[in-house]
Amino acid sequence: MSSRDHERWATRPVGRRLAQIGIHPLAVPTPFAIGAVNAYLLAGDPVTLIDTGPNLATSLVALSRLLAGVGYAVEDIEVLVITHTHADHLGLTALVAERAGAEVCALDRAASFIENVDREMAAEDDFAARLMRRHGIDQDVTDALRSVATIVRGLAAPAAVTRPLSDGDEVVLGGRRLRVLHRPGHSPADMVLHDLDNRVLVAGDHLLSRVSSNALVTRPLDGASQAGRTRPLLDYRRSLLATRELDVDLVLGGHGPPVQDHRALIDERLHRQSLRAQRILELLSNGPRTAHELALDIWGRVAFTQAYLTVSEVLGHLDLLMSDGLVTEDRSGPVIRFAHTLRKS
């Protein structure tokens, strides 16, 4: 959400309601295509900031200015909460925590990643390069993406998690009761916070109003074998169905304006996923394909920076089709190929 978008909706009823209950969205700029990341200040005891923005001087200056706009300073923050392990959400954590003397909270299964983010992100980059080659992406593309990933790693910084949170915990932050809920999919350790009394869900990138969250293929959090990988779209669909059951009026995402009808949006996202899976199944009726070939069939020649995202997207839908017994995976060669189980000979 840009600062202009923020100003536009903040003056509307939903924005006024959030201000009345002491929740202040702060649109912190990032260098990413998606734009600003939404940090959320909870103005209560203890004063709490959810997510921070990337580790950039410009983002820190903007965060300080945005806090001042709602009557606070970085030094006033008593608790920091990190919703997940991506650089645009955790980058400034260590710096803000040191300046404010703040406690740092994150989901227990994300704590080691955040504390060792340089090592973990480098391992993710190694994993991504292997996965791309295994699914048909050329070596020159993977090499170029490794160079870009090195730059992105600089936007994160390790931070000590002083208070790990577990799925189902109930905590008091910013003067309100919050239930901690694990919602894997966009990342393995996505966490959302349910404001029980105000019927608000602070959702990180779990559910975004304007774009569908990428269900990125990653290493398992336990650092399993090189062959192991997450099945993020299957996880994400389960997570969305669990969120659909929550009794909330507003979902506050990590980018863009709030979601005011989460059930309708989730139904739309699930439907679109099913349509995409059907499209991939139709493409496989013409014969076995690699994930990269399927991505090219769907999106054509996209910018090389999108190669991993598109292959992740295809793999997620292939996992969905394989879970229904409609697709098989042939791992016998140097490149993995997928086939329609009902394809006519």
Q: Please, what is the Cα angle at 107 between 106 and 112, to 5 degrees?
A: 80
Q: Cis bond leading into 29, ω under 30°?
A: no
Please state whether beta strands 37-42 and 79-82 pair in parallel, antiparallel, or not at all (unpaired): unpaired
Into which CATH architecture does domain 3-120+151-261 fall? 4-Layer Sandwich (3.60)
CATH number 1.10.10.10 is the correct assignment for the domain at 270-340? yes
Please report the pLDDT score of residue 148 as a whole number: 82
Please report the pLDDT score of residue 266 as a whole number: 98
Please report the pLDDT score of residue 226 as a whole number: 42
Strand partners, 171: 178
Q: Please, what is the Cα angle at 34 between 159 and 108, to 5 degrees?
A: 30
Please report the pLDDT score of residue 196 as a whole number: 94
Mean pLDDT for each 10-residue chunk of the chain (345 residues)?
A: 57 84 96 93 97 96 96 98 96 97 97 95 91 92 85 91 98 97 96 97 97 90 64 96 97 96 98 97 95 94 83 96 96 95 63
Please report the pLDDT score of residue 221 as a whole number: 79
Please report the pLDDT score of residue 225 as a whole number: 44
Q: How many CB atoms lie within 10 A of CB 286?
A: 10
User: Are the folds of 3-120+151-261 and 270-340 the same?
Assistant: no
Burial 39-53 (b: 16+ CB within 10 A, else e): bbbbbeeebbbbbbb
Please report the pLDDT score of residue 249 as a whole number: 96
Q: Where are the domains of the chain?
A: 3-120+151-261, 270-340
